[in-house]
Structures are given as structure tokens and as C-alpha cells.
Structure 1
Amino acid sequence: MKRAVVLFNLGGPDQLSSVQPFLFNLFSDKAIIGLPQPLRWLVAKLISTRRAPVAQEIYGHIGGKSPLLELTQAQATALETALNAENPVDDFKVVIAMRYWHPFAAEAIGELKAFGPDEVTLLPLYPQFSTTTTGSSVLDWEKQAREHDFAVHTKTVCCYPTDRIYVAAHADLLRSYVSEPNTRVLFSAHGLPKKVVDGGDPYQWQVEQTVAATVSALGQSDLDYVTCYQSRVGPLEWIGPSTDDEIERAGQEGKSLVVVPIAFVSEHSETLVELDIEYAELAEKAGVVSYKRVPALGTNPHYVEALKAAVLGAGDGVAPAGGRRICPGTCGKCPAKAAA
């Protein structure tokens, strides 16, 4: 049996000239900006044109492009190897579908048509579900599959925020960073506008569940930690507390900081520039005693094992564990409709 896995990720510009069209694709997404057309097109054009010079400067700090594709390719290779070693009877192929830059979903479908799978599993590299990430990627995949006449039995893993092996990967990486006294851990995740979460998006709840599970797995009941959110843009109110505010508070309290990119599984501009450069400079100015950052999971063996388990355990429903809903009833945008 031929089984395909599609890794969903954000994507990133592959050169400085790609920054503006990448941003345009991002802000053209209805899941990001909910305006009707043609207003959304006009707003996306305006924002991407204005933000492109700033974003180009950011990518200039990391070689003039995003490293996300190469890092995702490494994850795809590791996962494909693990799946084929575990299941010699089945033939697994792992491909990548980026949302806002190449390779897009249509390109992944082209690869899979050549492979001819009997079954497809959609697997996000977003451990916590949001309508703005996994939700958007699933809708785009379904649209592209219809347009390219790709009708194959498809399963979807919507999230895995408290998966035991995934959590163990975070705990193992963090353990060596928290031995010093007077240290606070900031679990930093990408933020969202508050209205998105108030509308039933389960992302914040799932991030908090990941943090709680990681702290429990770490086994340090007295751990000083905060869940916070970074990368705020625009005039809307965003979920908090913000990572930069927490850095300044830690400086006022004479704390050392360890920052964990709890919702990022690959290094990219939000980790390599925002966390490593901008927030490190802020920490120094704020008087933070020591500032350290835990790496993203990448191809950590525990994380690859968690991805493999998610693929092999995927049921026919849009949910982890074959259809079991984990979100509370207040998270109306959770795609899993089965009873908790």
C-alpha cells in the first residue's frame, strides 16, 4: 500500500525579492484578514508593500532568505525514513505543502500524482491548531485537490498539543537550561488577535495545555514560568501577556531568562531574529541577568517519533487520536466535533 504524508508549514521567502509577494500571499488569506474581496486584495497589497523593506532587513540577518524550507525538508526526510523503517509493508512518501511560498499545495499534489498513493495523511507542523494556520492549510489543500482532480482517501491530524512524545521532546531540551537559581522560563508562542481567540479559535487554550504538560514532564514543581506571546503586528488587541513585556518584567525583578519557542518546531525569522537578536537586545537593556534560548525541535528524535505516531494513529476524523476531541466546548472553531 502506498501512503503519503503531507507536511503543512507556513513557508518563507527564498530570496529578498520574494519577501513582498510572500507577504502579499500571507495577508491575502481570508483566515488572516477576513475582509471581502476586493478590499482584502487592496489591504494585502498595501500591507505587503509597506512591510517589505522591514521584512527584508529581518531576513538580511539570516542570509537573505528563510531557512524554513530546508529545515522542513530535513524533517520530511527524517519522518519518511522512520515511517518506512516501522512499516516495511507500506511504502511511505512525505512531501511538503507550504501555505504562502513554494512549494505550494498544488506542487505537492503534483508530486503525489506521480507517486500514486492509496491514502494521504495531512500533518501540520503546527502542534497547536488554529484557524489561521492548520485550518487555512486544510482548506487550501481541499481546494487545490478539487481543482487538480486529486481524489484520494485523506486523513487529517489537526493537532497534537499534549502528545506524550512531543511533550517529552520539549522537556528534554529544556531540562539542561533550568539548573541555575533565580531563573524564569518564558514559553513564547506566536500571538493572535484577541478577537480570533474570542471567536472560538482553540490555539491559546492548546498552547497553555502544551506548556502545562511540558512543565509536568519536566518534574520541577517549583519552576518559575510564564506562557507569553510574541510577534504582534497591527492595531488590534492581541492575546497576552506579550513576550517583550515579560522580558522587561524579568529585568525589573532581577531574573535570568530561558526562552522556549513552544509553538515553533523549526527555526525561522521569529526565532533567529525576534528571539535571538531583538529580544536578546531588549533583555540586555532591561537588565536581565542572563538570557538563553532553547532551540526549536527540528529533527529531534522524540519529535520525529511523535510525528510518526500521529501519522500511524490518524483516524478518519479531523482530530488527534482518530477522532477524539480534546478542546473544551468554548472552542467552537475546533474542527473535531466528537464528544470529549
Structure 2
Amino acid sequence: LFNDPAIIDLPGLIRWPLAKFISARRAPVAKEIYAHMGGRSPLLDMTNDQARALEKKLSAASPDSKVFACMRYWHPMSADVVQVVKSFDPDEIVLLPLYPQFSTTTTGSSITDWKKAAARIGLNKPTFAVCCYPTGQGWVTSAAKGLNEEMARGQNDNIRVLFSAHGLPQNIIDKGDPYQWQVEQSASAIAERAGLAKDRWTICYQSRVGRLQWIGPSLDDEIKRAAQDNVAVCIFPIAFVSEHSETLVELDIEYRDMAADLGIPAYYRAATVGVAEDFISGLAALVENAVAGKKNIGPGDELTCPQDNMCCPNAAEQDRKQL
């Protein structure tokens, strides 16, 4: 993870020993986190469930469709999966991220890694990439349903929704990464679909590491503010579609304990969308659009990243066309 140039933008001779140092320091913390989850994360299992659900949906119209799960920092990684895909011998390949919002540190890094792995073994099939779907109908509908279901548990409580996303260092955003802007678009779309008034929700960020300035506000600060206002909170993990350490440990244990210590009236946490039918249908539509149009898929017909977000592949493509 920390040796990825998209995460730490330093020359390799500096990045590699720094990555080893950071990993060594974080190892005890990581062991404790995984102990809370029984020694392993459910992320790969949930990703495989999503792959099977998507394959079933796609096969209704295209019986020869095959979906492969590919992880970025643990097996099966790109180097493993390209071999399997080459043996399958597809006519076309669609790269579909399970990150609703694009970032150079997530989707961008994953697509680059796939392309390098494919080139190394001569996998030269036509390949199209889905950039993101921050306001995609299937994603937004599933998210809003899950949020409303969780909030219904506290129907008598005065609840503030905290849309919590994984944080990023501010300098990455300053270089043109569209992630923060896309998180804001997701939150607005989900809140509107869920019927939330503007004064009942806010956006915040979790999982900070190191001393750099990170985008904010932090989830810590928003929980403290909710305690001061004496309102209950419902956390919605807006950048995740599967359960893993940042939901099951950070949100369900660490922040729940923090909220209790601060005297927050009630603490709720909406589940990730997982294999929700609307979500899987939305993913299938993205894949089908990419194949039918023989093209990469951007944020959506009605959503275009601002031109200063030049790390967004869709915005960059538009700029090249203008030139």
C-alpha cells in the first residue's frame, strides 16, 4: 500500500524504505484491528459475492459474460487475474471499480496496475474502464434505502446523518484529484433520495494517517459537534460498498465508543450496499454501456468533474478534445 506511488508520491529509492518504515510501525495496530474481525477481513468474500451477483445479472442478456474479482493490495491482484482472464480469452474487457468516487489513489492506481500487468503478458484485448459513478442511480438508490432503514430504528430520535468517507491528504486534492468533489455529489444525491433536509446531514472524513494536512472536517470533529448539540448520529460509509476494517472496527467499535464516552444520545451505522439489487443492477448498466458504446464511462451524463479536477480521466479527455 505505502509503496504505491499514487499513495506516496516520492522517488522509488525514498518511497520503498519509507513504506517499509510506515508498515513496520503500523503492524501492531493492524494486528489489533484484524483481531476484532476474527483474524481476517470479509472484504474479499463480499467482493466475490458482488462479482457473482453481477455475473448473474449480466448473463441474463449476455450468457458468455464472466466477472473476475481483482484486488489492489492483496491476492488476487492484477498480476494473478490477468493470467486467468487471458485464459478465458474474452472479446472485450471492462474494468469496473468498486469505488463509487474516483481518486488517483484508488481507481486510478488500480487501472494503472491492471494495464501494466496486462501489457507484461500480452493481454491485448479491447479494454474499457468505468471511471466512477458518484451519482449513479443504482448506487444512490441502494444507499438511500439502506440509510432510511437504519434511521427507522431511531424514529423517535433527533438524528444527524454523517456521510463518512475515507480521508485524503489535502495536497492530493490540490493536484486536481476529483475525489472530494465527487464525495460531495454523492452525499447530496443520497440525501435528496433519502428525503433528508439540508440541516440534517453533513460530510466528514475518517482514517487519517501521519502529520500531513488532510481534507476535513474529520469524523472525530463531527461526532464531538453532535455531542455538543445533543443529537443522535447515523453514520453512512459513503465511499465504501463492502464491509471491512474501516466499517467494522473504526465505525462499529472505535467511533461508537467515542460517541458513548461523549454522551451522544444514540449511535447508528448504516450498512454498506453489498449485493443490494439496485446497486448490482446499476453496475450491470455501467458495464453494458461501456460494451455497447465501445468507450470508457465517466461520472454520468449529467455530472462532469470541474475542469480544475484534471486528475479526473473524464475531465482530462474533454480537455484534450477541446485542444
2:211 counterpart of 1:232? no
One-letter amino acid of the structure 2 residue matched with residue 235 of structure 1? R
> For residue 319 of structure 1, what is the aligned residue in structure 2?
297
Q: Secondary structure at the match of 1:147?
A: helix
> For residue 6 of structure 2, what is the aligned residue in structure 1?
31
| Structure-2 separation of matches of 1:130 and 1:271 | 20
One-letter amino acid of the structure 2 residue matched with residue 332 of structure 1? M
Give the structure with the larger strand fraction. 1
Match of 1:284 among 235, 239, 260: 260
Q: What do the CA deviations read for 1:177-208 (whole angstroms, capped 9, x no partner)?
A: 33334110000000000010111000000000
> For residue 148 of structure 1, what is the aligned residue in structure 2?
121
Q: Is the 8 A contact 2:133 2:300 kept in 1?
A: no
Q: What do the CA deviations read for 1:151-181 (whole angstroms, capped 9, x no partner)?
A: 1100000100001121011111111333334
Give the superposition deviation at 1:319. 3.2
Cα distance change of structure 1 residues 321 and 260 upon mapping to structure 2, 3 Å threshold: closer
Match of 1:182 among 132, 146, 158: 158
One-letter amino acid of the structure 2 residue matched with residue 41 of structure 1? W
Match of 1:68 among 39, 43, 58: 43
| Structure-1 separation of matches of 2:228 and 2:30 | 31
Q: TM-score, normalised by structure 1?
A: 0.89
Q: CA RMSD in A?
A: 1.6
Give the superposition deviation at 1:302. 1.0
Cα distance change of structure 1 residues 220 and 324 upon mapping to structure 2, 3 Å threshold: closer
Q: Is the 8 A contact 2:3 2:19 kept in 1?
A: yes
2:72 counterpart of 1:99? yes
Q: Which residues in structure 2 correspond to 1:27-176 (within 5 Å)?
A: 27-88=2-63, 91-176=64-149
2:267 counterpart of 1:294? no
Q: Is the 8 A contact 1:264 1:296 kept in 2?
A: yes
Aligned residues with identical type, % of pairs: 52
Q: Is the 8 A contact 1:187 1:226 kept in 2?
A: yes
Q: Secondary structure at the match of 1:176?
A: helix
> For residue 308 of structure 1, what is the aligned residue in structure 2?
284
One-letter amino acid of the structure 1 residue matched with residue 83 of structure 2? G
Moved beyond 4 Å, runs of 4+: 321-325
Give the structure with the larger helix fraction. 2
2:188 counterpart of 1:219? no
Q: Secondary structure at the match of 2:65?
A: strand
Cα distance change of structure 1 residues 79 and 219 upon mapping to structure 2, 3 Å threshold: same
Q: TM-score, normalised by structure 2?
A: 0.93
Q: Is the 8 A contact 2:136 2:300 kept in 1?
A: no
Number of corresponding residues: 313
| Structure-1 separation of matches of 2:301 and 2:188 | 23
Give the superposition deviation at 1:110. 1.3
Q: Is the 8 A contact 1:105 1:141 kept in 2?
A: yes
Q: Is the 8 A contact 2:135 2:299 kept in 1?
A: no
One-letter amino acid of the structure 1 residue matched with residue 254 of structure 2? E
| Structure-2 separation of matches of 1:203 and 1:322 | 15
